[in-house]
Homo-oligomer: A and B are copies of this chain.
Amino acid sequence: MRPSKRAADELRPVSLERGFSKHAEGSCLVRFGDTHVLCTASLEENVPGWLRGQRRGWVTAEYGMLPRATHERMRRESTSGKPSGRTQEIQRLIGRSLRAVVDLQALGERQISIDCDVIQADGGTRTAAITGAWIALRDCLTWMRTREMIKTEVLKDHVAAISCGIVKGEAVLDLDYVEDSAAETDANFVMTGSGGIVEIQGTAEGKPFTEAELGTLLGLAKGGIARLVDLQKQAIA
């Protein structure tokens, strides 16, 4: 039995609240159970230096946590002087995941910055962030289309993410903090609406895992991501 009483392949209650932020071109407060992440999309009319003049745009992401989003208060990253390795790893992952479904040519020479700020954390913040960021990005692109800034389709597909893991020998979907802390293997999957794999990150925390276990985790993830994509479709309907 999982601590949350969920079935092995059961997601936590997920909600996607659009338009949470008054100022952003697109925004979404995503909740995976007690994990709450505010995703905003900000349009900027210039691109990073290395991309200038190439008639292509860019989508990038930044990730942060409020100091008391977690059980113990964490030091604010602005006072420690630099984003931690973990923060940078996550924001690079979010950016790559979104770019996998964006036609950067069609976007034009502009940048969309996605900020994913964890208001409350209970495991799976990066997967919630990716899932909510897709909504913020999509609404930003709709905002641009309304203003005739883009003409052709920029967004090629949905993208969503979920964690899986092996906890006490059992493969389970969408780990909360308690399960995450106890997992022998921890894996994050990012997949598109049409089922393509964008990113797999699997780590043995304790003993190494087998090819068969990897297959089981991948199966769980496919099911979970299909449901997240459905929820994205409902949210934008």
Contact = CB atoms under 8 A, between A and B. Distances in A.
Interface residues of A, number: 62
A149 interface: no
A113 B80 CA distance: 16
Task: Provide the main secondary structure of the chain A interface.
Answer: mixed
Nearest to A194: B208
Interface in A68-85: 68-71, 73, 76-85
A42 interface: yes
Nearest to A66: B117
A29 B41 CA distance: 23
A79 B83 contact: yes
A113 B73 contact: yes
Nearest to A34: B22
A70 B117 CA distance: 14
A204 interface: yes
Interface stretch (A6-14, A46-54, A88-96, A127-135): A88-96
Contacts of A17: none
Given A23-B70, A42-B68, A200 B200 contact: yes
A202 interface: yes
A166 B92 CA distance: 21
A92 B53 CA distance: 36
Given A79-B83, A82-B82, 6 more contacts: A42-B68, A67-B117, A78-B80, A78-B82, A198-B208, A200-B201
Interface of A: 21-24, 27, 34, 38, 40, 42, 44, 62, 64, 66-71, 73, 76-85, 87-89, 91-92, 96, 100, 113, 115, 117, 119-120, 122, 187, 191-192, 194, 196-204, 207-211, 214, 218
17 contacts: A22-B122, A23-B69, A62-B76, A62-B79, A67-B117, A78-B80, A79-B82, A85-B89, A85-B91, A88-B89, A89-B89, A197-B209, A198-B208, A199-B202, A199-B203, A200-B201, A201-B202
